[in-house]
Chain A
Amino acid sequence: MKKFFQSEWISRLIDALLPVFAAIAALLLGAIMLFLLKVNPIEAYKALWDGAFGSTNAFAETLVKATPLLLVGLGICISFRGDVINIGGEGQMIIGAILATWVGLNFTGLPGWLVITLSMLAGFLGGAIWGGIPGILKAYFSVNEILSTVMMNAIAVQLMNFLLRGPMIDPSQAELASKIPQTARLLEIFRLPRLAPTRLHLGALIAVILAVLVYILLWRTTLGYRIRAVGQNPHASRYAGIKVQRYIVLALLLSGAFSGLAGATQVFGVNYRMITDGSSSGFTGSAGFNGIVAALFGQLHPILTIPASILFGALLVGANKMQRVVQVPSALVIALNGLVVVFVVSSEFLRRRRQRRRLASARQNDESPPGPEQLKQVESSA
């Protein structure tokens, strides 16, 4: 029996490390590509490491990039656990940011802490609305959420372009011919406080606290349990008396809310204004998409998503430095990011398959009905 537990333990460890192996494999493949381009891979990866972790500033920059990834990723943990594929992070970030910025620019008479709180709530609300609409469409009209969230992204981008070029444009830009689509700057007292003499801001801390809260929500509350139950088996959930539709909407709504918050923290912690180049990534830096990857890397677990977002933040920041130092084409950097993503996502599904096979063989090994221990395993793997 002891031996069984040992092998069980080892194979769970392998599972947990699979994404790390995947990332290493991707980087090795990248090293081969670098070698073919006649660049010293060690030198290149050293530059990547230095760019991401080499100095206090570099590390702070990595964390700044990781913050929106973590926030979006937390939302993804909720929705993917509920078997709802939310690809609308970009749009939800934009709408959250628009509402938050509107609060920040219009309530100038109120004290700073109050406006910051209200803006963050506005961001949360904006994202919730933008995620809730596809949620309702999926739950009550069976509209595929992948498509509706993608379309909601496109609508959000145009709304942002309209507002930032029209009603919300920076008054000083409105007079210029260039008309850069951006809002006015936020008052000094409305900015999220910085945590160190770097660009690192309070948003990072909020995100980490929220990660713990999301963990509690998903595994220690009825709401979280039901979201996961619906994600695992909607039919069984229905027979158990869970209102499946309601939890589908909630999963998407909450997921959107976290992305909205990510948008709000970008405005109040990094740029101090909303600015774009007309595309969605011009504002979000594609965090709405990359957050999905971070969450998958973190095995859709809120706590594991913290290191996962830091890793992808580091890749984003470090790749820039690598490009400058060893003069590799940026296509390679893009390809490298893509490789890590593909490998990591693949490993996630490999992990699930291993888990299923293990459960099946465990069931064969002992014929007694699954005891509490095994149930707990199913529970934790869910």
Chain B
Amino acid sequence: MTQETILIGLAGVLASAAPVIFAVLGETLSERAGVINLSMNGTILLSAMGGFAAAYNTDNIVLGFLAGMLIGALVALVVAFASITLKQSQVAVGFVLALTCRDLSYFLGNPYMGEPGPRLQAAPIPVLGEIPILGQLFFRQDAITYLSFISIFLAWLWIFRTRPGLMLQGIGEKPAAAFIRGANVNLMRYVYTVIGGALIGLAGPAYSLAIRAGWMGTISGLDGIGWIALSITIFGGWNPSRAAFGAYLFAFLQWLGLVLQPVFTQVPSQVLQVAPFPLMILTLLLVNIGNAEWVERTLAAMPETTRKILSKALRAMRASPPSALGVPFESE
């Protein structure tokens, strides 16, 4: 394999991770505020279909992306209303929405099956794109991929370096304390869930108008992406930069699977298709293992030096959810 094909492949990895990045960032914001948006898998499909339909009918690609965001925000609004105002189980509501949105997208998308539609073109940045290697990797992408780079940074900046971001952390960790500090907990939860939903909704058109342009219904291979994004959110420990790393890792592994397919011809194609799932379970296991009780006990029984190294490694991988995740807030 030449350097050129590897570079093209890696640039493709960065582009194909973009939708997952949006979804993961959206979910991170929502969960940081304490609301699990489990509808993600259905939302991505519905916004992919809706975004494509909007762009197809208006012949305006920007409207397509906006339509996707609107769909995501609306679904998130339902989740927020059910979980914040009605204080229902977020898991139940989100799960039901995930199924309903998926089925709806398949049905409503029927007329658009396989239709050729608009597609976002690559927009190389004039000077930066000429830089060898780096230019090819980062600066000859399409607009939505650039947006994914920027949003990782913005989300990180917002959560960890601004005052409202600090409040956001408080709302998810200790809502009662945030309330006393003057935060309108439930309103902020609404706002972050809907903004997060809009970001998740951006993932759909990022597929149907850019990476896998068009709407292919059940064979589009988008079903399941939302669940993967959900585990990447956990893998990312509710931290945008770490979550982005997870998304790129996942896209890289998928690409590796494709590249390796001709090499291992005896291996059935399903093995490579299914590989990301056991890998995700494994990463979840590594992230969570530090929380398990027996691990602590085993560590304590080990000799000093091994224990230090191991517990350091475990702590680096470990991630704990916001304490008030999934718990309704009542100001009393």
Which residues from chain A sit less than 8 Å from chain B, CB to CB? 85, 87, 137, 140-144, 146-148, 150-152, 154-155, 158-159, 161-162, 166, 279, 286, 289, 292-293, 296, 329-331, 334-335, 338, 341-342, 345-346, 348-349, 353
Contacts and interface: CB of A to CB of B under 8 A. Distances in A.
Given A154-B224, A330-B107, A338-B99, 10 more contacts: A146-B38, A147-B227, A147-B234, A148-B284, A162-B268, A279-B223, A331-B108, A334-B100, A338-B96, A345-B88
Interface string B83-115: 000111101110111011001100110000000
27 contacts: A85-B91, A87-B95, A137-B285, A140-B294, A141-B285, A142-B291, A144-B288, A146-B91, A147-B230, A147-B234, A147-B280, A147-B284, A148-B281, A150-B227, A155-B277, A159-B270, A166-B268, A289-B99, A329-B107, A334-B104, A338-B99, A345-B93, A345-B96, A346-B86, A346-B93, A349-B88, A349-B92
Contact of A154 (B38, B277, B292): B277
A365 B216 CA distance: 61
Given A141-B292, A148-B284, A349 B87 contact: yes
Contacts of A293: 96
Contacts of A289: 99
A334 B270 contact: no
Contact of A346 (B88, B104, B285, B294): B88
A301 to B, nearest CB: 17
Contact of B288 (A143, A154, A329, A330): A143
Contacts, number: 103
B120 interface: no
B218 interface: yes
A163 B218 CA distance: 21
A162 B269 CA distance: 8
Contacts of B224: 154
B289 interface: yes
B274 A155 contact: yes
Interface in B107-147: 107-108
A26 B227 CA distance: 28
B87 A353 contact: yes
B182 interface: no
Contact of A158 (B230, B273, B291, B292): B273
B281 A137 contact: yes
Contacts of B91: 85, 146
Contacts of B93: 342, 345-346
